[in-house]
Amino acid sequence: MSDFVRYRVRHETVYNYGGNVAHSHQLLHLSPRDAPWQTCLRRSITLQPQPSTRREDVDAFGNHVTRLEYDLPHDRLEVLAEVGVEVRKAHTIAADTSDAWETVRDSLVFSAQPVSAELLEALRYRMESSYVRVKQTFTDYGNDCFTPQCPVLVAAEALMRKIYREFKYAPGSTNIRTSAIEAFEARHGVCQDFAHIMIACLRSRGLAARYVSGYLRTLPPPGADAAYVGADASHAWVSVFCPPFGWVDLDPTNDMLVSSDHIIIAWGRDFGDVSPLRGVIVGGGRHRLSVRVSVQAE
């Protein structure tokens, strides 16, 4: 059996505006990033109409971004991203050999002493962000998972399972502006909300966690009874800083460690950093949005 899977991904986004858009700027996170366990083999983004200017760039978190500007009137925008990517299976990790969560927390406390590049990177994902506030409510929620001297990955997996059990996956019950505390109080949401809640619980305890956007395999893997929750759409999960293993990805929507069924597009502090497509427009009125995603193993 191969230790990697190759995928073809097709992500189509169509905006139909109620009137002409006179001017717009768009920022796209639609190209997979490379990682030790993932290699982007090909990528293309087709646009209709063609933008006045287009620039490929890398954002502050190392993600591939496409920047667009339109200065001619248009009442429709079509964006088609097609990529090929190879994803390798995750190595087996003994969760109980990760550092105690208190040790990890203490290593992330600010000091005037120089820190390693690994810790400096982790510190970026310890503070609160626009969608994820640091609150005692989140700390209290995870108390039964983060027992004294519990290995950080064991505790994070327990938190993932708790969120999976106690929150209802309910498409349409939240939107892209819903914060972690709003979804937490409602006890329902979608993958974005599950990820934000888990990140809030980790950061409120002084740990580092980042928001990961990407895709899930569309068809169930061999031996599975059903497709994963969140397939056929953009998906989101959580990456936790777990020394000595570095970053470990957990999917609270599906209660699983992330492996070769997940494709990473981008990561950041929360959804606001990695939205697939966002922009500022002048004109256009109300609009209708259509999104179709397909992820097929080759």
Domain harbouring 110, CATH code: 3.10.620.30
Q: Are 108 and 72 members of one domain?
A: no
How far apart are alpha carbons 228 and 22 in whole angstroms? 41
Q: Are 118 and 237 members of one domain?
A: yes
Q: Are 142 and 194 members of one domain?
A: yes
224-279 confidence digits (pLDDT tens): 555 677 666 789 999 999 999 999 999 999 999 998 999 999 999 999 999 999 99
Task: Give residue 224's pLDDT.
Answer: 59
Q: Are 133 and 206 members of one domain?
A: yes
Q: Are 241 and 180 members of one domain?
A: yes
How far apart are alpha carbons 134 and 252 in whole angstroms? 19
Q: Are 80 and 121 members of one domain?
A: no
Task: Give residue 220's pLDDT.
Answer: 61
Q: Are 163 and 55 members of one domain?
A: no
Tell me the residue type at 226: A
Q: Which helix (H) or strand (E) holds 75?
A: strand 74-88
CATH (domain of 63): 2.60.40.2250
Task: Give residue 251's pLDDT.
Answer: 97
HSE at residue 247, side-chain half, CA atoms within 13 A, is: 21
Task: Give residue 3's pLDDT.
Answer: 84
How far apart are alpha carbons 153 and 250 in whole angstroms? 10
Task: Give residue 225's pLDDT.
Answer: 58
pLDDT tens, the chain, 298 aa long: 568 899 999 999 999 999 999 999 999 999 999 998 999 999 999 999 999 999 999 999 999 999 999 999 999 999 999 999 999 988 889 999 999 999 999 999 987 788 899 999 999 999 999 999 999 999 999 999 999 999 999 999 999 999 999 999 999 999 989 999 999 999 999 999 999 999 999 999 999 999 999 999 866 656 655 567 766 678 999 999 999 999 999 999 999 999 899 999 999 999 999 999 999 999 988 889 999 999 988 8
Task: Give residue 284's pLDDT.
Answer: 85
Q: Are 266 and 280 members of one domain?
A: no
In SS3 terms, 263-294 reads as EEEEEECCHHHHCCEEEEEEECCCEEEEEEEE
Tell me the residue type at 39: T
Residue labelled with tokens 């001619």: 72
Q: Are 69 and 124 members of one domain?
A: no
Q: Are 245 and 192 members of one domain?
A: yes
Range of the structural domain that residue 267 is part of: 95-272
Task: Give residue 230's pLDDT.
Answer: 62
Task: Give residue 232's pLDDT.
Answer: 66
Task: Give residue 292's pLDDT.
Answer: 92
Locate 154 and state its tokens.
């064991």
End-to-end CA distance of the chain: 14
pTM of the predicted structure, to 2 decimals: 0.93
Q: Are 126 and 262 members of one domain?
A: yes
Q: Which residues contact 230 (CB under 8 A, 6 or more apart)?
A: 190, 191, 216, 236, 253, 254
Rg (CA), the chain: 20
Q: Are 131 and 167 members of one domain?
A: yes
Residue 72: how many CB atoms within 10 A of its CB?
A: 12
Number of separate domains in the chain: 2
Task: Give residue 90's pLDDT.
Answer: 83
Residue labelled with tokens 């002493």: 113
